[in-house]
Amino acid sequence: MSKEKEVKNDSSKVMTKYERKQAARIAQQKKDEQSAKITKAVTFVVCICVVVAIAYSIANPIIKRQKAVNDIYVKIGEHEVTQLEYDFYYNSAVNNYLTMYSSFLPYMGLDTTKDYADQQYSDTMTWKDAFDEMAVGEITQVKALIDDSKAQGFTYDVTEDYKTFQESLASAAETAGVSVKEYYKEHYGEYATEASVEAFEKETLLASAYYKELMEKYKPGEEEITSYYEANKDDYDVVSYRSFTFSASVSEEATDEEKAAAMAVIRTSAEEMKAKREAGEDFETLCAQYASEDNKATYENAETEQSLTENALKSSIPSYYSDWLFEEGRQEGELNIVVDESGNQCFLVEYVSRAYGEETDSNISDLLAQEDVTEYVNTISEPYEVTDVAGKLTYLTIPEETEDASVSGNEVEATEETVGEEATEATEEAVSEETTESTDETVTE
CATH of the domain at 326: 3.10.50.40
Domain boundary among 341, 359, 377: 359
pLDDT tens, residue by residue, 156-214: 999 999 999 999 999 999 999 999 999 999 999 989 999 999 999 999 999 999 999 99
In this predicted model, which residue has the larger pLDDT, 252 or 423? 252
Of 133, 55, 38, which Cα lies nearest the Cα of 89? 133
How confident is the model at residue 419, as a pLDDT? Answer: 37
Task: Let me know: does 71 contact 82? Beta carbons within 8 Å.
Answer: yes
As a whole number of angstroms, the distance between CA 136 and CA 88 comes to 11
Number of domains in the chain: 3
Interior angle at CA 31, CA 26 and CA 37, nearest 5: 130
First and final CA of the chain: distance in angstroms? 112
DSSP 367-387: HHHHHHHHHHHHHHHTT--EE
Residues 246 and 312 placed together within one structural domain of the fold: yes
As a whole number of angstroms, the distance between CA 82 and CA 73 comes to 5
As a whole number of angstroms, the distance between CA 194 and CA 189 comes to 11
- Residue 11 in any domain: the answer is no
Interior angle at CA 29, CA 24 and CA 34, nearest 5: 130
Residues 354 and 343 placed together within one structural domain of the fold: yes
For the chain, give percent helix, strand, coil, nearest 5.
60, 10, 25
Residues 266 and 340 placed together within one structural domain of the fold: yes
As a whole number of angstroms, the distance between CA 210 and CA 150 comes to 10
Residues 402 and 332 placed together within one structural domain of the fold: no
Domain containing 134: what range? Answer: 73-225+361-443
- Residue 5 in any domain: the answer is no
Residues 277 and 196 placed together within one structural domain of the fold: no
Of 317, 314, 336, 322, which Cα lies nearest the Cα of 415? 317
Question: What φ, ψ does residue 226 adopt, rounded to 5°?
Answer: -60, -45
Residue 155 confidence class, pLDDT cut points 50, 70, 90 = very high
- Residue 237 in any domain: the answer is yes
* Helix axes of 423-437 and 360-381: crossing angle, nearest 10 degrees: 110
**DSSP β-ladder status, 417-418 and 413-414:** antiparallel
Residues 240 and 220 placed together within one structural domain of the fold: no
pLDDT tens, residue by residue, 217-249: 999 999 999 999 999 999 999 999 999 999 998
**DSSP β-ladder status, 72-76 and 386-387:** antiparallel
Residues 39 and 126 placed together within one structural domain of the fold: no
Residues 354 and 257 placed together within one structural domain of the fold: yes
Domain boundary among 292, 327, 359: 359
Domain boundary among 359, 392, 426: 359
- Residue 3 in any domain: the answer is no
How confident is the model at residue 32, as a pLDDT? Answer: 66
How confident is the model at residue 67, as a pLDDT? Answer: 77
In this predicted model, which residue has the larger pLDDT, 364 or 34? 364
- Residue 13 in any domain: the answer is no
How many percent of the chain have pLDDT more than 70?
Answer: 75
Q: Residue 365 above 90 pLDDT?
A: yes
- Residue 6 in any domain: the answer is no
Q: Which long-range contacts (C-beta less than 8 Å, at least 24 apart) are formed by 96-101?
A: 96/426, 96/429, 96/430, 96/433, 96/434, 96/441, 96/442, 97/131, 97/134, 97/423, 97/426, 97/430, 99/441, 99/442, 99/445, 100/426, 100/429, 101/412, 101/419, 101/421, 101/426
Task: Let me know: does 220 contact 283? Beta carbons within 8 Å.
Answer: no
Residues 85 and 220 placed together within one structural domain of the fold: yes
- Mean pLDDT within 137-141: 97
Residues 352 and 377 placed together within one structural domain of the fold: no
State how far the alpha carbon of 371 is from the alpha carbons of 17, 130, 138, 220, 368, in Å.
109, 24, 17, 11, 5
Q: Residue 344 above 60 pLDDT?
A: yes
As a whole number of angstroms, the distance between CA 342 and CA 271 comes to 20
Task: Let me know: does 439 contact 187? Beta carbons within 8 Å.
Answer: no
Neighbours of 384 (CB within 10 A): 18
- Residue 35 in any domain: the answer is yes
In this predicted model, which residue has the larger pLDDT, 136 or 359? 136
Neighbours of 181 (CB within 10 A): 12
Task: Let me know: does 321 contact 349? Beta carbons within 8 Å.
Answer: yes
Interior angle at CA 221, CA 215 and CA 222, nearest 5: 130
Residue 61 confidence class, pLDDT cut points 50, 70, 90 = low
Residues 80 and 63 placed together within one structural domain of the fold: no
Residues in the chain: 445
Neighbours of 53 (CB within 10 A): 10
pLDDT tens, residue by residue, 49-58: 554 444 444 4
- Residue 112 in any domain: the answer is yes
Residues 143 and 180 placed together within one structural domain of the fold: yes
User: What residue type is 175 in one-letter code?
Assistant: T
